[in-house]
Amino acid sequence: MSGAPSHASSSSSAPALGQLQEGVRHMRGGHGESLLHDFLPLVKPADQPTSDPNGPALILVNYKLPREILERLWSNASVRVCADGAINRLYSSFDLEEDRSKYIPEYIRGDLDSVDDKVKDYYVEKGTKIVHDTDQDTTDLEKCMDLVNSLGYPMLQVIVLGAFGGRLDHEFSHYHVLYNRSAFLLRSGSHKIRTECLGPTCGLIPLGAPCRKIETTGLKWDIHGESQLQIGSFVSTSNRIVEEEVEVTVSDPILWVSEFRVPESK
């Protein structure tokens, strides 16, 4: 599927590595106000990490972990949590112990049914806290979200790396969790999105309920309130970012998705 906002009943192929769906998710949005979304501080080079002790939380789930994005997000996060089997992914991402020892998460949470004993023992020895949770009514991602919320950090953002692109049922489960937790959801009102780290493609997806009215600027195919967006009827996919800042005004919550790229170091 390509081009302007289009009638569609299904999406195109699974997200590639580095897309926003695998990367950044805002926990909170604005209601009836102009809210600025800026991703650049999240991907400062690893040798220039943010100085904000209350920076975003990083949650890793059990899917491919793009190395360069992992390094940058890790260095800019204030707390790092692995959801169950994601800790195996993290461990196997490094061949050298010198590299592996630089990426020690503060927490692992889940039922631990897919965690290798050798891997668990390695991180426990390094100081990682294990939070064993056997609740079968919540997913590992939900468990990690709850853990982050319980830590008392005044964080406005949670980054989920590896959430999309794997098994389809897991992907829909993650959409469900992130939507309910105010994923990168543009709530009713006006939003400005800085695009240095985004694009070139993007989409606006009406999950949960139709978006009765939407207006945009900064996209190749801007939407001017002429149609409501609704799954099974009319959605905006494979649109393109053409300005350094995109403005979106919506009557109802809508999910923003975009490719996510690491900017060149200056």
> Residue 105 above 70 pLDDT?
yes
Residue 208 CB contacts under 8 Å (≥ 6 apart), including other chains: 179, 253
Q: Cβ(49)–Cβ(76) under 8 Å? A: yes
- Percent pLDDT > 90 in the chain is 28
Phi, psi of 200 (to 5 degrees): -80, -20
CATH of the domain at 172: 3.40.50.10240
Does residue 243 lie within any of the structural domains? Answer: yes
Q: Tell whether the model's pLDDT for residue 109 goes beyond 90.
A: yes
The answer to whether position 6 is within a domain reads no
How many domains are there within the chain? 1
Amino acid identity of residue 10, one-letter, is S
* Alpha carbon 251 to chain centroid, angstroms: 23
- Cis status, amide bond into 200, omega within 30 of 0: yes
| Mean pLDDT along residues 238-262 | 86
Amino acid at 33: E
Is residue 14 in some structural domain? no
* Residue 11 resides in a domain: no
Using one digit for the tens of pLDDT, what is the confidence trace for 3-41?
344 332 223 222 322 223 333 333 333 344 566 666 655
Q: Is residue 174 part of a domain?
A: yes
Strand partners, 230: 234
**Where does the pLDDT of residue 146 fall: very low under 50, low under 70, confident under 90, or very high at 90 and above?**
confident
For the beta carbon of residue 31, count every other beta carbon within 10 angstroms. Answer: 10
Residue 7 lies in a domain: no
**Is pLDDT at 222 greater than 90 in this prediction?**
yes
The sign of the CA dihedral 104, 105, 106, 107 is negative
Is 46 within a domain? yes
Average pLDDT over residues 78-88: 92
Identify the weakest region by mean pLDDT among 65-79, 176-190, 235-249.
Answer: 176-190
pLDDT > 60? residue 113: yes
Give yes or no for residue 116 having a pLDDT over 70: yes
Name the residue range of residue 157's domain.
20-260
Please indicate, yes or no, if residue 225 is contained in any of the structural domains.
yes
DSSP element (H, E) containing 79 = strand 79-83
265 band by pLDDT with thresholds 50, 70 and 90: low
Q: Are 22 and 257 in contact (CB under 8 A)?
A: no
